[in-house]
Amino acid sequence: MHRRVWLRFFLRRFAIFLLTIFGSFTVAFLFFHLIPGDPIGALLASLQQSYGGNNTASAEMIAAYRTTFGLDLPLHEQYIRYITNVVFHLDLGPSLISFPTHSQELIARALPWTIGLLGLAVLISWGLGLILGGILGWQRNLPGAKILTTAAIGFAQIPQYIVAIILVFLFAYFLHWLPSRDAYPANVSPGLTSEFVTGVLKHGILPALSIVIVAISGWMLSTRSLIVSILGEDYLLYAQAKGLPPRNIFLHYALRNALLPQLTGLAISLGFIVNGALLVETLFNYPGLGSLLTRAVGILDYNTMQGIVLISIISVLTANFLLDLIIPRIDPRVRIGG
């Protein structure tokens, strides 16, 4: 009987998961194609202006490009063609940025940079924010705790790109300690060499730090609120009455109860990683999905934009789907019948 309940729960959640992906991407597809502009005409006009050409050749090229990208079809046929290629062939279609390279190849090149940068930044900020926020909530009446809380409130309201600009000015232009752009030195070839790895780490410090400073403030404030909300609960008073050390009460009772909602937030944040830190990556000329999306939007590269958004939708919804399955297992207070 228990297995049947779990199977029904899984199938129901999985059906919702698939329907949400379908609905979300359909809205995104329609939105992108409603953006005014002619991507093929603008691209060829730019090429003609730069390299010359005649109007007849340009018209023939426009027709050929429209056929290749399927833009000569009605919108509903473009949608069906795109979904069919993605589902059955795992093909996002050719990119306009780097034709004839397909969009999935461009995304595959950019994805590791974004995951490496944002993944590490999210994990660091979550871990430090959880610990510091827990201490701020547990020792909330200390003068230092009030100062840190006020500072966290201030930093949480500052956009990441503003922090990035300040860090670039301070550490790149004023102190000359760290590079201000790119993902690795221009004179180093990518590969598993000490020079390349060192260069990647050095170039990633400023963009990662600009993300961590803002993100850690949010985690600190949310954890502090969770800790403060459970102070005075019966189980904490009982633990104190048993004579348990304050450190054990904090770690095993207070912080543990704040961990579950923060794990939920962490999973969702990890799902959003593939969105890329758009402005931060653009500011540092970092070759991640944020920079790729900026370039794709600039010339209305539908296939690349749709591919990045589709991956983002799938990653975020997958994180939520896995949470729906995991949380009832680790928290008996959550029932799977709902």
Write the DSSP string, 54-118: -HHHHHHHHHHHHHHHTTTS-HHHHHHHHHHHHHHH----B-STTTTSBHHHHHHHHHHHHHHHH
pLDDT digits (tens, 9 = 90+) for 113-135: 888 888 888 888 888 888 888 88
The CA distance from 277 to 282, in Å, is 8
Half-sphere exposure at residue 244, Cβ-oriented, CA atoms within 13 angstroms: 16
* Residue 1: predicted pLDDT: 46
Amino acid at 241: A
Amino acid at 152: A
- Residue 60 and residue 68 in contact, taking contact as beta carbons nearer than 8 Å: no
Token pair for 334: 């959550």
* Residue 264: predicted pLDDT: 76
**pTM attached to this predicted model:** 0.78
Q: Which of 132, 130, 134 is nearest to 231 (CA)?
A: 134
User: What residue ranges of the chain have pLDDT lower than 50?
Assistant: 1, 338
Name the one residue in this structure whose structure tokens are 């909330």: 140
The CA distance from 244 to 248, in Å, is 7
Q: Which fold has domain 103-330?
A: MetI-like fold (1.10.3720)
The CA distance from 268 to 265, in Å, is 5
| Alpha-carbon distances, residue 177 vs 118, 167, 198, 213, 325 (angstroms) | 22, 11, 14, 19, 46
Write phi, then psi, for 102 (nearest 5 degrees). Answer: -80, 155
pLDDT digits (tens, 9 = 90+) for 18-58: 999 888 888 888 888 888 877 777 666 666 665 655 555 56
Amino acid at 180: S
Name the one residue in this structure whose structure tokens are 């579950």: 260
pLDDT digits (tens, 9 = 90+) for 164-175: 888 888 888 888
Write phi, then psi, for 37 (nearest 5 degrees). Answer: 135, 160
Query: Where along the chain do its domains lie?
Result: 2-89, 103-330
- Residue 324 and residue 36 in contact, taking contact as beta carbons nearer than 8 Å: no
The CA distance from 227 to 17, in Å, is 32
